[in-house]
């Protein structure tokens, strides 16, 4: 019998936020494909593909594989990314380009390759940016630039791919991906400084993504959703 379930691709889905998104969508009845350059962690209820999403040929192969195996693509969650925190003078061009490649160029490569499948499915794309698209700590130039670019790429894609494909962005704040809250290694102030009273959890992002790729978000495209417990709404002048 043909499998009629919707298909989602989650990049960087082997751990952290991507893993929570993959688990949530699988639990909601989606067929999930996880693409990650490091698939070391235990398997989810998903098909795992080892893939560097900053590599053009690897992305083409990934999408061709989905066309052949799953035969459709209803949602792309472009989540893979990483940060290099280094003083500007020490940041090499290769490091800058590696961060831009994974955090920004990958979304261009993925959406370009998947456009026919996404249009055919009247699908949705969610990019995972960061509140660092709009505010910074020192020594984070490549990361902030990549996430600012990703927010802009999101609305550009929304305009180009509509009306068939909706494209939205989630910008998380501090998300505890290493279980530090459960392990007791976060300080009370880490939680209390947030207007929401706590540090974020991967499931906070997953819930928002699940809504964005679903039918209730049908009138939402080109938008950025901040899930940061209110941190970027707080004035932070010294007392």
Ligand X SMILES: NC(=O)c1ccc[n+]([C@@H]2O[C@H](COP(=O)([O-])OP(=O)(O)OC[C@H]3O[C@@H](n4cnc5c(N)ncnc54)[C@H](O)[C@@H]3O)[C@@H](O)[C@H]2O)c1
Q: Examine residue 82 and tell whether it contacts ligand X (CB under 6 A).
A: yes
Pick 2 or 233: Cβ nearer ligand X: 233
Packing angle between helix 106-121 and helix 56-69, nearest 10 degrees?
20
Candidates 12-20, 22-30, 118-126, 153-161: pick the segment binding ligand X (CB under 6 A). 12-20
> Exposed, middle or buried, 65 (CB in 10 Å: 0-12/13-18/19+)?
middle
Record the tokens describing residue 127, joined without a space: 């990019």
Annotation marks residue 143 as catalytic: yes
Q: Examine residue 149 and tell whether it contacts ligand X (CB under 6 A).
A: no
Rounded to a whole number of angstroms, the minimum distance from the CB of residue 99 to ligand X is: 9
Annotated active-site residue in 26, 66, 81, 143 = 143
Candidates 59-67, 168-176, 184-192, 216-224: pick the segment binding ligand X (CB under 6 A). 168-176
Q: What is the separation of C-alpha 56 from the centre of its chain, rounded to a whole number of angstroms?
A: 18
Residue 166 Ramachandran class (φ > 0 left, ψ -120 to 50 alpha, else beta):
beta
Record the tokens describing residue 73, joined without a space: 């693509």
Candidates 77-85, 111-119, 182-190, 215-223: pick the segment binding ligand X (CB under 6 A). 77-85
Q: Examine residue 198 and tell whether it contacts ligand X (CB under 6 A).
A: no
DSSP per-residue codes, 105-134 = IHHHHHHHHHHHHHHHHT-EEEEE--GGGT
Q: Examine residue 172 and tell whether it contacts ligand X (CB under 6 A).
A: yes
Q: Which of 56, 61, 54 minimizes the C-alpha distance to 37?
A: 54
Residues that bind ligand X (CB under 6 A): 11-12, 14-18, 36-38, 51-54, 79-82, 102, 128, 130, 172, 174-175, 177
* Residues recognised as catalytic: 143
């Amino acid at each position: 019998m043909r499998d009629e379930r919707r298909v989602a691709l989650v990049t960087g889905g082997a751990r952290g936020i991507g893993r929570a998104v993959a688990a949530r969508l699988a639990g909601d009845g989606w067929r999930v494909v996880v693409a990650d350059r490091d698939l070391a962690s235990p398997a989810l209820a998903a098909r795992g593909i080892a893939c560097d999403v900053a590599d053009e040929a690897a992305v083409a192969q990934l999408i061709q594989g989905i066309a052949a195996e799953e035969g459709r693509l209803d949602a792309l969650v472009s989540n893979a990314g990483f940060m290099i925190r280094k003083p500007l003078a020490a940041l090499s061009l290769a490091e800058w380009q590696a961060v831009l490649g994974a955090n920004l160029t990958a979304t261009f490569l993925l959406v370009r390759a998947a456009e026919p499948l996404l249009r055919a499915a009247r699908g949705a794309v969610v990019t995972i940016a960061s509140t660092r698209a709009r505010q910074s700590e020192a020594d984070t130039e490549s990361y902030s630039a990549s996430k600012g670019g990703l927010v802009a790429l999101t609305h550009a894609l929304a305009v180009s791919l509509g009306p068939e494909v909706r494209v939205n962005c989630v910008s998380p704040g501090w998300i505890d991906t290493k279980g530090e809250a459960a392990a007791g290694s976060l300080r009370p102030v880490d939680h209390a400084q947030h207007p929401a009273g706590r540090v974020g959890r991967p499931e906070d992002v997953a819930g928002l993504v699940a809504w964005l790729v679903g039918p209730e978000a049908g009138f939402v495209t080109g938008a950025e959703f901040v899930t940061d417990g209110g941190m970027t709404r707080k004035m932070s002048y010294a007392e």
